[in-house]
Structure 1
Amino acid sequence: MAISKTQAILQQKCPRCREGEMFKYPTYNLANYQKMYTNCPVCGLRYEIEPGFFWGGMYFSYALNVAQSVVLGFATYYFLNNPAAWVYLTIIIGAIFLFMPLNFRFGRVLMLHLFAPVHYDPSYSKR
């Protein structure tokens, strides 16, 4: 049975077969977290639909960074009782660096799943 679109996004799977991995290495392999397969290992879909396609993924990555910064800002205010500015900066900037590999990947995954002219097709499944 195929996984849902949401599961495919969260597991960073191909939008066409929902089985193939999009990235070659684990998320926190900091030397290689950004390296993607050119084509899906299961169905052969070329991930970069056109040259520069993933530039749009930067907007998703930016939105994820802003959302996490706002949430962390409010959490810092609430749990640490409005500390000094350097505490906010340390927590937020530290989180930006900590979540950079995830935000980068999810920016690309969301771009491919939401804006590529590719739809799920169970006939490409290897099962």
Structure 2
Amino acid sequence: MQPIQSSALASLAQRCPRCHQGPLFTHGAYNLAHFTDMPEHCPVCGQAYEPETGFYWGAMYISFAFSTGIMLVVGVLLYYFAGDPDTWVYVSAVAVATVLLAPLSLRYSRTFMLYLFGGISYDPDWANHAPVRRRG
């Protein structure tokens, strides 16, 4: 498989930040028993996916931003296309949308956390360099 050259596109495809080929997750997003499962290392280049213990705790803030965005988008859509319905309609629609999009929100929050704060950069010549391993 050819690596994705753009880091932005590789993050959207949820690929390894170092080689842009290995998947970040082992199962599909809507496999509800295993949607959070990540391998310890990239199956292609061997890069560690957890730079330090507890690294993904920070992804909660990114996930919160996604949930806030979902709430705003659903609220604006309801306001303009449903004629400003009752409050219970807003609450129900936001709750349903947030629950349905939760697996994607969690996965993308972890992906963006790794890409933005993991200290791993794309290396097109990764086969000739040793991966950065987690200490400890």
TM tier, smaller: over 0.9
- Sequence identity percentage: 43
- The equivalent of 1:77 in structure 2 is 79
- The equivalent of 1:2 in structure 2 is 3
- The equivalent of 2:94 in structure 1 is 92
TM-score, normalised via structure 1 length: 0.95
User: How far is the alpha carbon of 1:2 from its aligned partner?
Assistant: 3.4
What secondary structure is seen at the aligned counterpart in 1 of 2:68? helix
In 1, Cα distance between equivalents of 2:20 and 2:66: 23
1:39 aligns with 2:41: yes
Mapping of residues 34-73 of structure 1, within 5 Å:
34-73=36-75
In 1, Cα distance between equivalents of 2:126 and 2:32: 32
- The equivalent of 2:115 in structure 1 is 113
TM-score, normalised via structure 2 length: 0.89
In 2, Cα distance between equivalents of 1:80 and 1:114: 38
1:52-99 alpha-carbon deviations (Å, 9 max, x no partner) = 100111111110110111011010111100001110011100011000
User: How far is the alpha carbon of 1:123 from its aligned partner?
Assistant: 1.6
In 2, Cα distance between equivalents of 1:99 and 1:53: 23
| Structure 2: runs of 5 or more not aligned | 128-136
What secondary structure is seen at the aligned counterpart in 1 of 2:8? helix
In 1, Cα distance between equivalents of 2:34 and 2:3: 28
In 2, Cα distance between equivalents of 1:44 and 1:2: 15
**Letter of the 2:9 counterpart:** Q
Greater mean deviation of Cα atoms: 78-87 or 1-10: 1-10
| Structure 1: runs of 5 or more not aligned | none
In 1, Cα distance between equivalents of 2:40 and 2:60: 19
**Letter of the 2:8 counterpart:** T
In 2, Cα distance between equivalents of 1:85 and 1:33: 32
- Matched residue count: 125
